[in-house]
Structure 1
Amino acid sequence: MNVYSSAHELASAIKASNEFMDYDKLRKEIEQDPTLNQMISDIQKRQIEIQAKQLSGEEIGQEAMAQMQSMYAMMSSNPKAAEYMQAEARFAIMMKDVYEILSDVVKINI
């Protein structure tokens, strides 16, 4: 068995999955709307900042959490943005599951 061939098969299977196709379709639609694209980008950047602070042991203030909640509420009120975020979450869960399967086999923690 060639590991690289199997990896390419897995990549093709992921690309053909409903999770990826839905996410990719919506991502391309979002990219066509500069305002919506920027709003989602801002939320994602803020989320990464908060996660980085949490990982470094820094406490997240109420103001930062309230800001995130406000951003999510605003985004949730836009049906296309909400649909995109749901598709992104489904794709991320599938990828996490694949990573866990692979890491369990070789006994490493990713």
Structure 2
Amino acid sequence: MNVYDKAYELKRAIEELPEYKAFKDAFKKIESNEQNRKMLEDFRKKQLEIQTKELTGKEITKEDEEMLKKLYDILSLNPELNGYLAAEYSFSRIMDDITKIIMDVVNLK
């Protein structure tokens, strides 16, 4: 068994997943619409800002949380952005599961 062959086999299997295809299609729609792309970009910047605060031990304020929630609520009202976020979530859950399975090899207990 060649581990690289298996990795490419996994890649091909992922590319055939309905969740991957939906995520890819939703991404293309967002990228083709400048306004939606900008809104998603602003949301991601705010998410990253809050995650950075959290990782560096800085306090996350109620204002931070409220701003992120408001941005998310606004994005959710847009059918294309809402579809993208849903597709991203579905696909990311699969990728998280796959990562956990692969990372089991690193557990040296």
Superposed pair shares fold, TM > 0.5: yes
Show the counterpart of 1:99.
99
1:104 deviates by: 1.3
Counterpart-to-counterpart distance in 2, 1:81 and 1:67? 18
Instruction: Structure 2: state its 5+ residue gaps.
Output: none
Is 1:65 aligned to residue 49 of structure 2?
no
Deviation at 1:13, TM superposition (A): 0.7
Q: Please state whether the residue corresponding to 1:60 is helix, strand or coil.
A: coil
Taking structure 1 as the reference length, the TM-score comes to 0.92
Which whole-Å CA distance do the structure 2 matches of 1:47 and 1:14 have between them? Answer: 27
2:76 counterpart letter in structure 1: S
Paired residue for 1:52?
A: 52
Cα distance in structure 2, aligned partners of 1:11 and 1:49 = 32
Q: What's the counterpart of residue 85 of structure 2? A: 85
Cα deviation code 1:41-80 (max 9, x no counterpart): 1111211221121122211011111111110111111111
Q: Which runs of 4+ in 1 moved over 6 A?
A: none
Identity in percent: 37
Range with bigger deviation, 19-28 or 44-53: 44-53
How far off is 1:18 after superposition?
A: 1.0
Per the normalisation by structure 2, the TM-score is: 0.93
